[in-house]
Structure 1
Amino acid sequence: MLKNKQVKMIVTLSLVLSLFIPMFQASPSQAAAGDGSWSAPYSVSQANMNQNNSVKTVKGYVVGQPTAANTVVTSSYPNDYALALADSPTETNTANMIYVQIPSSFRTQFGLKTNPALKGSELKVTGQLAAYFSHAGIKNASAMEKQNGSVDPTDPTDPVDPTPSPYDDTYYQSAIGKTGEDLKNELHNIIDDHRELSYDSVWDALRNTDEDPNNPNNVLLLYTGRSQSKLTNGGNVNDWNREHVWAKSHGDFGTSAGAGTDIHHLRPTDVSVNSSRGNLDFDNGGSQHSEALGNYYDSDSWEPRDAVKGDVARMLFYMAVRYEGDSGELDLELNNLVNNGTAPLHGKLSVLLEWHREDPVDAREIRRNDIIYNDYQYNRNPFIDHPEWVDSIFN
């Protein structure tokens, strides 16, 4: 049995420890340290301890621009080539920073000479954890994103609350109340006749429909989420080009006016990523793409990153209703297969239905739908306006 003196000593020691323990508790950034994925990024301190050439996502605050191993400037930035991140926006010790090499495609948006107000902002960066300026660093970044607490323009996962479409009393009036095949037929009649673009005019249209809301000089690429100059379109490495989400060989319609130029399913993508996707059907699984992190593929299918899975599904639902075989056009249909080849079929329907439910309609899709309707084709994607019609028609 403990004596009174021993009890007093234990109580005193407990009080002393209770005063000091908070000093050693992890900071919020350390407590929230993740696995280096996009959804659970490394803290800067984690990234500094794992300089092993692995590709990880890191989140931290912009504290300046590194110009040497032990020098980070906080004003009068010399160029747009690099920035330093830390777990605290007020960090001044370079040992607690990580140096980020900024690829040319991200300099307009994230270079500090062009964007000095970026200092103090929180960023997520995906890249190779490797020394830069002889200091812990991130090189060959494939994704960079500012964290602002609002709907993320490159990773739009925040759903839009369902509300009645403003077009129900006009554009969709004849479809309201219909279900199943009757609904599909009526929607086809509504969206069938529209202005058809030339393939050359698609370039300018995509510069508008896929504009980066944080930088009007840039477009956002579908699979990588990367923001880059609207004028860097073409066929060179890191250029963007026109991706047919319904692969143009599935029906062999090429780039002819109609299905080949319908911007409801045409999106800007990185040239090499577009080439990797090719004419693959959509399904879950495969190996992660080294340039388009979060996208997976194998010999017969492509899985886009989570933030655009619903977008992809709704684009294909649109194509299957818009192109029904009348007026000399192809009859495009969805099936539950992969390896569809040149047949006018696309899969995998069961997976597309999952993606549609998991990634609801977001503000960027609505904006894009409105631009196509008002400025270009004068028709709408009904599955953005009425997501519930997907189950009515395709289940």
Structure 2
Amino acid sequence: MKEMLQRVLQETAKLIDVAAFIFIDAVNQLSLPSDVSDLLSWLSTQGFLPLSCKCVISCTPTSALQEQPSPYCLYLDDLSLETARSLAVLYLSRYSKTLSSEQLHQLLHESSSSNPLWLSLACEELRVFGVFEMLTKKIVGLPDTLQGLLGSIIQRLVQEDQSCRVKKLLCLVKCCQEGVAERDLQGAMSSLEGGSEIPTVYWASLRRTLRCLLRTSRDYRGRDTLSFFHGSVAKAVEQCLLSPDNSHQVYLVSMADYYEYNCTDDATVVYQLPRLLQQATLNGRLVHFLRKDPRARTIQAHTRAQYLKAARCFHVCRDGFLRSPAMICGMCSLKTGAFGQLFLNRQSCALCGVHVAIMGKEAFLCPKHFRIGRTECLTCRSPILGLPPPYPALLCHMCGYFETCIAINM
């Protein structure tokens, strides 16, 4: 990714003679804190940015940002009363809407009106409110926190939607907060509704209904994607639609089913499916995909090891603890593919499948996962009788670093 970004910047600098500006909004909303550190480290590397290129980054105060050298930092204060007033008037005037002086005063009296995000969402709620006589009461009833306001908007949209598709779409997007291709969302929602394809006109109406909560963009492959426009929306969706009945599992499984059985884009499947199965705690399906599905062979070894580490039994199996060596029978030791690899089973890591040429560590099972007085083959589960001689299951240096049982919690 670093090399790709640098190459694009250098090619762009050759095409134009004027200064180029890169705007990166809400860098703090990247998935992992390490992503923020990596990006800022790249941008601050000498020679990474062409001399004609400038970069502007917006974010909340983060330790990662403070650690990076920056030629100039601008800290933005909350909106002043006059600025907030101008913003509210301008927003509503675009739709030929106005508030009386009393109503405007009541709106700006809320303590959160100094937050531009809260204020713009509040103005949008007032714009779509259709009962003029009740407008003042609507203003008074607006929640005075960003999360509260977002929750109120989500509840209104769900109540007004008789098809229940608003709730389904928001919950499906919550499963893939980094952004998901529209065609994948349509496929997953069709599965939720029994397999019938959603007509284009209904999908367009659904997008229009949720435009204040979603961001439409394109990924690096040119596909239309949907994501929440702000991290607060994801929290509000979880609180309003998922927390009360713990229904997150239903949508995770729906997305996972679509990617595993219906999606024809292997690169997307490899990127999305393991994470969805992990979040849904479907460890059996996760292990089967990583080890048996040909599409999973493109997953890098350290990524595969991380997924399996999270599903691995946590019981300690180091010296001094009750344990049993994990063994592979003589027949299975000469086969391949038991751990998703192309090498012999006896020469592969018993978890991630990487080739263990030298310095492999012996794998063990805890008392919960082995039968006392009986040794079973780790792969075929048949009793090991002695001939042909069995081989000890091995772990690579990544999987062997944690001295725990190698069984997977299904």
TM interval, short-chain normalised: under 0.3
User: Greater share of strand residues, 1 or 2?
Assistant: 1
In the superposition, the TM-score normalised over structure 2's length comes to 0.26
Whose Rg is larger? 2
In the superposition, the TM-score normalised over structure 1's length comes to 0.27
Higher relative contact order (CA 8 A, sep 6+): 1
User: Greater share of helix residues, 1 or 2?
Assistant: 2
